[in-house]
Structure 1
C-alpha cells in the first residue's frame, strides 16, 4: 500500500516536468509516461508507445546519434532493462511505420530500488534537442559551403573546433592538423598589425577588426592574409570566435609587379635619348623630365616641378598650346604636333610633339616626347629661299625642272604622295590634269584642240603607263597627287566647255 502511494506521488511530481519521463516495470512493461514524453514520441497515450519493451521496439526505431562511439552497444532502453545507469546519451528516434521527421533525444537513466534493494522501477529521462541539432546542422552546412576560408576557436580553451575547406585550401593544412590545436600552435594572428590588441579582444570574446597577418603554413612557408574575428555562439551555447580570411597573395604579386613595372618605366624614361616629360594634365605642370629634356630646354631634372610650362612660357605660341590641350582632351593622344617652344635660355625651338594620356598613382597625366626640328626647319627655309632665287629667272630651265623646284618649294601634304610625271609626254600630262579635274573626252578635245580619237589614244597611253583599266582609277591617282580638285570640278567643266580651241583640230 505504501509503495502504491509512493508511485502515485512520484507520478504527480513528474507529470508537470518539461523533461520527458518514462517508467518501466521490472517485467519490461511500460507503466507510465508524462505528457512531455508522449509529445516527444508524437503520440497521445501511453498505449501508443507500446505495452512493453518488445512493442516499443516494433513501433519506434532508435539509433545512437554518434554511431561510431556506440558501435556494438545495445539500444538505450535495453541498457536500462539491464540495470545500467548512463547520462546524456544522444539518439535519433523515428516511427517505424512512417518516414516522418526524425527527432533527437538526450537520454539519462535511473534505477529505483525497493526498500530491500531490489530494482522495481526503471526510469528514462528525456530531453528533445532536435531544434538544437538542426540549428547545428544548418551551421555545419553553411560553414562548410562558405567559400571564404574560416576556422572556429572555442573561447574556453582557445582550441579550434571547426575548420572549412576554404581554410585548408588556403593554408595547405590537413584537417587533423588544425582541429584540437590552440591559437598558439596554429597562429592565425602571427605578425598581425595589432597583434597584442587582437589577442586581448580574443580573450575578452570581442570582435577583432580586420588586419593583415602572415600565417606560417606547410606549403609556401608563409601566407599573407587579411584576418578578422567575430564572436559567435555555437549550438549548445558554447562561446566561440569565428576567424575569416582573405588571401593577399594576388594583391602582393600585383604590387610587386607594379613596383617592377614602375622601375622599368623610370629607367626607360630617364635613359630615353628623346626629350621626354611627364606632365600633369590639369594646368600642364611638369611632374618629371628626363636628362634629354633637361639638356634641350635648359632645366635641371630636380627643378622640373618648379619649371611650369605655362608660367615660364614654354609654349612660344598660346594658340598652339590651346590646340594641343584640346586634342589631348578629345582623343587622349597627339602624334607629330608641330609647335614652337621657348627654352629657359630664351631660345625658340621648333619641335614635333607626340603625347599620350596615362594614369600615374591614380592621377591623370600626359607623357610627352619632343623632337627638336629647328635645324631641319632652318635648312628647309634656306632651301626655299634658294629655289625662289633660281625661279626668279626660270628661262634657262625646262618645264620639268621648274615643276620639281615648285614641288620642293611647296611640298604636298604629308599624307599626299607627290606627283611623278616621268615617262609621260607633255600632251599626256595635260590630258592627265584634265582627267583629274573630271573633264570628259569631248571637253579635253575642246580645251586642247584635239580630235576625239586623239584624246582616246592619249587616255589609253595613260592607262597603260599607270597600270590601270578604268577612268576612275586615273581620277583617284591624279587627285591623290593634287592634280584635280573635286570641289572645282563643275567650275572647271564650265570653263573648259566655253574655251575655244587654240589649235586647229588634229587628225592624228
Structure 2
C-alpha cells in the first residue's frame, strides 16, 4: 500500500474521530457519489441507526427520503443537497424538510456543502453538513399561522433597513393594498406613522427598537385617500433579526358607529322632549327616575328636581299602591305592558284617569323602563255618563222592544268601569288562539302541541294575555272571556257540560 493511500486513510480516520462528536450532522461521500460515512448526529436527523440505512449512494438516498422546501414544493432527486454536493456544487444554508419514505416523522435541516481537496487541490472527498432546525422551524410556523390568522391588521418591518417582511390579511383587507405592494417596501414608502399624534416619539422609539405606545395616525391608502387608525409597535425577533410588529385598529368603523349612536340618541331625545304625552324613564333595577319630559311635569304639576332621582314608589303618582305593584311586577315579568288603566295623582292632589303603556329599553348599557301615560279622564267620564244615561232609560223600559233592551244592556256592560278597558281585538291573532285554548281547558303543553309552538313561547303568550287582560289566573281569563260572550258553547273547559 502506497504512502499516499496510508496518509489518506489516516487523515480520514482522524477526520471521522474529530467530527463524530459534533452536534451538526456530517455525511462523507466519495467522488463517485457513494456514501462513505456519517456521524451519529446525521443518522439521528434521518431517524436511522446505521450508515447503510441512508442508502449506498445519492440515488438510493433519494429513494429512501422525501425532501421538500419550506413552501411545500418537492425537490427532484437532482435538487437534493446530497446530489448537488456529489456534483461538486458549493452551497450554504439550504432549508429542506426531510421525511423517510416509510415514516411520518419530519425533520427540518439547514444544509451546506464542502469539498475536501488533496495537497494538489484536487477533490478528494465530499462533505454534507447539516443542522437540525426542526424546533426553530416549528416555532416559526406557529408564529406564521398565528400572525396570518390574527384578525387585527398587522405588518412586520425589519429594523436594520426598515423594510416590511410580513403582512397579514387583516391589514390587506383594511387598506386595499396587495401583498406585493407591502412586502419589501420601506416605512418611507408606506408610512404607517403618518400624521401620528406623537410622531416624534414614535420615530425615536422605532430607531431605538423600543415599544411604540398606542396613538392615532392617518394611514395612506392605495387610491390616495387615508384612513384613521390607532397604531402601536412591539419589538420582536424574526429569523434572528430585530423587527417591529405594527398592529392597527380601524377607527373608521368605530367612528361611524359613534356617529350613528349619537344621531340615534339625538332623535330619541328630541322625540322624548317634544312629545305632548307624559313620559317617564326609570331604571329597571330600582325603578329610580332617570328622566321625564316636559309633558310629564306639566300634566302632574311637578318641577324637574322634585322627580329626578326619586323612585316610582316614592313619587306615588300612581294613586293605588296595589295597581302600582301589579304594573311593575308585570313589567318585570314580561318586559312590557300595554294600556293598563290606573289612577294618577297630581302633586296638587288632583286625580287623572290614565292608560299606562311601558316597555324595556337600554340606555347607556343600563336596562330601563319607559312609561307612557295617556290621559283618558274625559273618555272615562263620557263612558260613565253614557252608562248612567242607559241605566236611567232602562228604569222604565216597558215601551222599548226586547231587542233594543238587550242592545242597551250590552252597551252598558261593555262600558262598565268595573271591566278592564282592554278589548278582545287588542290581543294579537296568536294571543286570541291561546286565550281560546285556555277557555277549552288546555294546559300549556297541550296548547304548544295544538299550535305547534315551543312550550316557552306558549308561556310567554299566556303571560302577555294575563298582563293585557289584567288577570292573574286561567280561571280569571276564562271569566273575562265568558263575560264578553267570547268563544262558542262547544269550546267549554274540560269537565263542563
Would you call these one fold, judging by a TM-score over 0.5?
Answer: yes
The alpha-carbon deviation at position 126 of structure 1 amounts to 0.7
Aligned residue pairs: how many? 415
Matched, 1:335 2:343: no
1-structure distance, mates of 2:321, 2:387: 27
Name the structure 2 match of 1:18.
Answer: 23
Matched, 1:177 2:178: no
Matched, 1:320 2:323: yes
2-structure distance, mates of 1:281, 1:66: 60
Matched, 1:90 2:91: no
Matched, 1:287 2:283: no
**206, 218, 222: which one pairs with 1:218?**
222
Name the structure 1 match of 2:165.
Answer: 161
- Residue by residue over 1:349-368, the C-alpha shift from the partner in whole angstroms, topping out at 9 and shown as x without a partner, is 22222222222222222222
The alpha-carbon deviation at position 174 of structure 1 amounts to 0.9
Residues 28 and 128, structure 2, Cα contact 8 Å, conserved in 1: no
Residues 196 and 216, structure 2, Cα contact 8 Å, conserved in 1: yes
Distance 1:321 1:253, change over 3 A: same
Name the structure 2 match of 1:276.
Answer: 279
2-structure distance, mates of 1:106, 1:292: 85
The alpha-carbon deviation at position 261 of structure 1 amounts to 2.6
- Residue by residue over 1:315-334, the C-alpha shift from the partner in whole angstroms, topping out at 9 and shown as x without a partner, is 33333322322222233222
Name the structure 1 match of 2:59.
Answer: 58
Residues 81 and 111, structure 2, Cα contact 8 Å, conserved in 1: no
Secondary structure of the equivalent of 1:330? helix
Please, which runs of 5 or more residues in structure 1 have no aligned partner?
Answer: 418-476, 487-492, 494-508
Residues 85 and 128, structure 2, Cα contact 8 Å, conserved in 1: no
Residues 342 and 353, structure 2, Cα contact 8 Å, conserved in 1: yes
The alpha-carbon deviation at position 222 of structure 1 amounts to 4.7
Q: CA RMSD in A?
A: 5.3
Residues 106 and 129, structure 1, Cα contact 8 Å, conserved in 2: no
Distance 1:351 1:74, change over 3 A: closer
**342, 346, 358: which one pairs with 1:355?**
358
User: Given the two structures, how large is their TM-score scaled by the length of structure 1?
Assistant: 0.61
Higher Cα Rg: structure 1 or 2?
A: 1
User: Given the two structures, how large is their TM-score scaled by the length of structure 2?
Assistant: 0.62
The alpha-carbon deviation at position 58 of structure 1 amounts to 2.9
2-structure distance, mates of 1:403, 1:82: 117
Please, which runs of 5 or more residues in structure 2 have no aligned partner?
Answer: 425-480, 491-496
**363, 368, 378: which one pairs with 1:365?**
368
